[in-house]
Amino acid sequence: MVKHDVELLAVGAGPANLALSVALEEIAPGLARESLVIERDQEVSWQPGMLLPEALSQVSFLKDLVTLRNPRSRFSFLNYLHAVGRLAQFVNMGSFVPYRIELAGYLKWTADALSLVEVQHGRECVEVRPILEGSTLAGWATELADGDTINSRYLVIGGGRDKRVPEQLRGIAPSRVIHSTEYLRRIAGLPKDRAYRVVVVGAGQSAAELFSAVQSDLPESRPTLLTRSIGLNMYESSKFTNELYYGSFVDEFFEAGPEARRRILAQMHHTNYAGLAPGTMDTLYRQFYLDRLTGRNRLKMITMHDITAAREQGEEIVLELTDWRTGAVQEITTDLVLLGTGFAPEMPALVRRLAGSLGLTDIAVTRDYRLIVNRPSAAACYLQGVNEATHGIADSLLSILANRANDIVDDILTHRAAHLGAADRITAPAAAA
């Protein structure tokens, strides 16, 4: 077993930790040289399951990794376009939102352009344990799937939430259930000439995109869109509600009381969840219209039904559906289930286990995203993208990446100055609890 020592370890090379890496290089180059980002995949690949050819980002290109913090940065999306020779074409397109595949390219370009922060691929985190010196938290021991352990003073977890799989479907063979995060890879391995019966579960953007994509990816399939809602809705958005996605609104939300936070989140729900972009809505309705016009009757939508049970029956999946208006129950059979169900609202399992190892009954963070621990601490852990309940609806999105990275770096620098000497390092794995 190989032991490593770094000052700062960031788990996950997604947008959150790439924004952090850029902030480290620009604000704290000394700390950046002692920082490591680990990524379980073999390359930086943002939303690889849903990089559909015509899918657009829902966020302005100006809300990239750095512009709202430092508009002169060389890591901006505009500089990426310039570097790859596509700036004039993007300007001519006249759009504030890039294609999703273009945003993915920007993130990979940024990771490759880092000069101080090291990024290692194919390094999967499986567990994190606190390192204790007496009763004081001195650091973190991060165990990897390959058997290595990386010890760090500072830990930043930015791997995102766990995917949401309805409980009724968890007993179905994984080969028959495809979450949106795995769509492109999994669908590519299926024969194109088979007349699959496909059920797409969900009512939001990812479910609609899955429903549209499978029509061409499996051209003989017969897709059904299944949703609990009364129908599909567009995102509720205006320039006024979009101001709640400003980085500056995080302060107002964090300072609000618990009931006020819940009310704000409830009223903001349809600005980000269970909604479709206008272009997607129009495309989807035209697909249904043409399907009926041509008499093909290939497409189907079932609304206001819950999945109340599921079982495998030979080569089929049998879904029990309950109409929540009447209580009537029906069964439908399918070959494949596609999940546009998003991500679980609770803290990721890795974070819950880490909290348990510290004896924490509640997972809470400071305004600067630092995990609140129940003991003296010369180390710190930061959580990115999982603090919607305390930091607002934008926390899991691209909108506040640059601002949040700035907050975390500033807090780390303040914490180091208060607790540590410049040369103070963790060097004793034997101290691990």
CATH 3.50.50.60 fits 167-235+272-339, yes or no: yes
Q: Using CA of residue 413, residue 418, residue 422, residue 423, what is the dihedral sign?
A: negative
Pairwise CA distance, residues 393 & 269, whole Å: 8
Pair 372, 354: CB distance under 8 Å: no
Integer Rg of the chain from CA: 23
Q: Which amino acid is at 415?
A: H
Pairwise CA distance, residues 314 & 408, whole Å: 52
Q: Domain limits of the chain? A: 3-162+344-431, 167-235+272-339
Pairwise CA distance, residues 23 & 8, whole Å: 13
pLDDT-based confidence at residue 85 (cuts at 50, 70, 90): very high
Inter-axis angle of helices 15-27 and 100-113, nearest 10: 40
Q: Is the pLDDT of residue 371 over 80?
A: yes
Q: Is the pLDDT of residue 424 over 80?
A: no
Pair 367, 214: CB distance under 8 Å: no
According to the model, what pLDDT value does residue 281 have?
A: 95
Q: What is the mean pLDDT of residues 137-143?
A: 96
According to the model, what pLDDT value does residue 3 have?
A: 55
Pair 27, 57: CB distance under 8 Å: no
Q: Which one-letter DSSP state was computed for residue 369?
A: -
Q: Which residues pair with 119 in a beta bridge?
A: 37
Q: What is the mean pLDDT of the chain?
A: 93
Would 3-162+344-431 and 167-235+272-339 be classified into the same CATH topology? yes
According to the model, what pLDDT value does residue 421 have?
A: 57
Pair 382, 371: CB distance under 8 Å: yes
Q: What is the pTM of this model?
A: 0.92
Question: Two tokens at 8?
Answer: 């700062």
Q: Which residues pair with 317 in a beta bridge?
A: 312, 334
pLDDT in tens, 375-416: 999 999 999 999 999 999 999 999 999 999 999 999 999 999
According to the model, what pLDDT value does residue 365 have?
A: 97
According to the model, what pLDDT value does residue 80 have?
A: 98
According to the model, what pLDDT value does residue 405 have?
A: 98
According to the model, what pLDDT value does residue 4 have?
A: 63
Q: Which residue has the tokens 């880490």?
A: 354
Assigned fold of 3-162+344-431: FAD/NAD(P)-binding domain (3.50.50)
According to the model, what pLDDT value does residue 95 have?
A: 93
pLDDT in tens, 243-272: 989 999 999 999 999 999 999 999 998 888
According to the model, what pLDDT value does residue 423 have?
A: 39
Q: Is the pLDDT of residue 47 over 80?
A: yes
According to the model, what pLDDT value does residue 174 have?
A: 93
Pair 305, 323: CB distance under 8 Å: yes
Pairwise CA distance, residues 98 & 31, whole Å: 32
3-state secondary structure at position 291 = helix
Q: Which residue has the tokens 């766990």?
A: 162
Q: Is the pLDDT of residue 431 over 80?
A: no
Pair 285, 291: CB distance under 8 Å: no
Pair 99, 55: CB distance under 8 Å: yes
Question: Two tokens at 70?
Answer: 């430092």
pLDDT in tens, 408-422: 999 999 999 998 653
pLDDT in tens, 225-243: 999 999 999 998 889 998 9
pLDDT in tens, 50-81: 999 889 998 999 999 999 999 999 999 999 99
Q: Which of 9-23, 91-105, 120-134, 264-278 has the lowest mean pLDDT?
A: 264-278
Pairwise CA distance, residues 171 & 174, whole Å: 8
pLDDT in tens, 289-312: 999 999 999 999 999 999 999 999
